[in-house]
C-alpha cells in the first residue's frame, strides 16, 4: 500500500468511526432514561446494553492494539449484555472511554503498520482487516441504536440525515451548485 493511499485509508477510517459515534450520540440524546434501558422484546437488547457491549469490545480490541490479542483475558463479554444495577451515566462513561481507546489506538498508526498482523481471539488479521472488522461491527450496532431510538421516539424523532420526502430538494440544490453539507458535515464530523 502506498504511503498516500495508506494515509487516506487511515484518515477515512477515523472519519467513519467519528461519524458512527456522532450518529449514535445524536440518537441516544433523543431518548430519556427509561427508553435508554428499554428492550423492545425479551430477545432484544436495549440501547444501554448495546452501548455497554460496544464499550467493552472497544476497550478489549483497541487497548495495546498492535501488541496484544484484541480479546483481552480480563474481558467478560457476557456481562456486557446485562445493564441491571447500572445507571445511564456509568454506561455513557464506559462508552466514551471505549471511543477514547479506539481513537487513541488509531492516531499513531502509519502506513508501515497497515499490513502488519494483530491477533483477535488468537486469529491473525492485518491491521486493515482488524480496522475494517470493527468498522463493520460498530456500524451494525450503531444501526441498532438508531433503530431503537427512532422506534422509541416515534413521531418525536428528529432525523439524523436528509428528512423523509426532501431527497429531491436536496439533490436539486446539489445540481444547482448550491452549497450543501457533506455527509460528514451533516452528522457533525470534525475535520481531521
Find the DSSP H helices in 29-69.
33-36, 47-62
Top pLDDT among 181 and 13 is at 13
- Which pLDDT belongs to residue 188? 52
Top pLDDT among 190 and 53 is at 53
Domains, in order of start, for the chain: 3-160 (1.20.120.450), 163-192 (no CATH)
Instruction: Give pTM, 2 decimals.
Output: 0.89
pLDDT confidence tier of residue 192, bands split at 50, 70 and 90: very low
Using alpha carbons, select from 2, 10, 35 the residue that is nearest to residue 130.
Answer: 10
Non-local (6+) Cβ contacts of 186 within 8 A are: 161, 162
- Which pLDDT belongs to residue 9? 97
Contact 91, 55 (CB under 8 A): yes
**High-pLDDT (> 70) share of the chain, %:** 92
How far is CA 163 from its chain centroid?
22
In tens, the pLDDT along 28-86 reads: 999 999 999 999 999 999 999 999 999 999 999 999 999 999 999 999 999 999 998 89
Q: How far apart are CA 185 and CA 190, in angstroms?
A: 8
Contact 19, 189 (CB under 8 A): yes
What value does the mean pLDDT take over residues 136-141?
98
How far is CA 28 from its chain centroid?
12
Q: Extract the C-alpha cell encoding 109.
A: 498508526
Q: Extract the C-alpha cell encoding 165.
A: 420526502
- Which pLDDT belongs to residue 190? 39
Name the one residue in this structure whose C-alpha cell is 450518529: 23
Residue 179 pLDDT greater than 90, yes or no: no
In tens, the pLDDT along 17-31 reads: 999 999 999 999 999
Amino acid at each position: 500500500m502506498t504511503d498516500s493511499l495508506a494515509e487516506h485509508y487511515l484518515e477515512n477510517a477515523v472519519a467513519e468511526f467519528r461519524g458512527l459515534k456522532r450518529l449514535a450520540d445524536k440518537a441516544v440524546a433523543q431518548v430519556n432514561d427509561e427508553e435508554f434501558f428499554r428492550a423492545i422484546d425479551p430477545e432484544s437488547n436495549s440501547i444501554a446494553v448495546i452501548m455497554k457491549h460496544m464499550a467493552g469490545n472497544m476497550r478489549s480490541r483497541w487497548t495495546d492494539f498492535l501488541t496484544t490479542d484484541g480479546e483481552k483475558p480480563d474481558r467478560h463479554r457476557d456481562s456486557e449484555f446485562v445493564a441491571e444495577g447500572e445507571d445511564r451515566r456509568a454506561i455513557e462513561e464506559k462508552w466514551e472511554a471505549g471511543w477514547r481507546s479506539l481513537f487513541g489506538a488509531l492516531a499513531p498508526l502509519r502506513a508501515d503498520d497497515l499490513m502488519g498482523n494483530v491477533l483477535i481471539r488468537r486469529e491473525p488479521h492485518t491491521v486493515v482487516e482488524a480496522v475494517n472488522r470493527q468498522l463493520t461491527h460498530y456500524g451494525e450496532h450503531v444501526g441498532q441504536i438508531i433503530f431503537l431510538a427512532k422506534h422509541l421516539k416515534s413521531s418525536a424523532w428528529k432525523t439524523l440525515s436528509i428528512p423523509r420526502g426532501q431527497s429531491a430538494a436536496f439533490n436539486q440544490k446539489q445540481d444547482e451548485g448550491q452549497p450543501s453539507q457533506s455527509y460528514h458535515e451533516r452528522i457533525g464530523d470534525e475535520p481531521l
